[in-house]
Amino acid sequence: MSGFDDREKAAEAKFVHDEATKFKIEARRNKLLGQWAAEQLGMSAASEIEAYVGEVISSDFEEAGDEDVFRKVRGDFDAKGVSISDDDLRSKMKSLYAEVAETFKPTN
């Protein structure tokens, strides 16, 4: 029975690690997305960009998944008349996620 317990504990530890890694990747992606979106919105002052990045990061805590972040940025783009399609915004979110995830891959 000890072998089963060890495997169960290992699986639980892997799950916790994977979820923590996913959270870190999403948080970093949201930071980069916020910086990119701030540029698209014409923000140039460092304090303004930093505040906006914080808003984008905070928006991710509204619900599970990426839709809350998407809605935040989409709404801001719409309010400022930034013409970036939904597909392009989603593509940017995916490419930033992949870019950040690459930095979390173990190096051998």
For the stretch 29-59, pLDDT in tens is 999 999 999 999 999 999 999 999 999 999 9
Q: 52 in a domain, yes or no?
A: yes
92 domain-assigned: yes
Q: What string of DSSP letters covers 20-80?
A: HHHHHHHHHHHHHHHHHHHHHTT--SHHHHHHHHHHHHHHTTSSSSSHHHHHHHHHHHHHH
pLDDT of residue 108: 60
Q: How much is the average pLDDT of 8-33? A: 89
pLDDT score at 1: 53
- For the chain, the first-to-last Cα distance in angstroms comes to 34
Instruction: Say if 70 falls within a structural domain.
Output: yes
Residue 108 lies in a domain: no
pLDDT at 100 over 90: yes
Does residue 4 form part of some domain?
Answer: no
Evaluate whether residue 48 is within a structural domain. Answer: yes
Our count of domains for the chain comes to: 1
What CATH number has the domain bearing residue 89? 1.10.790.20
Residues 6+ apart with CB under 8 A from 72: 55, 56, 59
- The verdict on residue 43 lying in a domain is yes
Q: Which residue has the higher pLDDT, 107 or 9?
A: 9
pLDDT given for residue 59 in this prediction: 94
Q: Are 52 and 42 in contact (CB under 8 A)?
A: no
Domain membership of residue 63 as a residue range: 25-103
Residue 81 DSSP SS3: coil
| 86 within some domain | yes
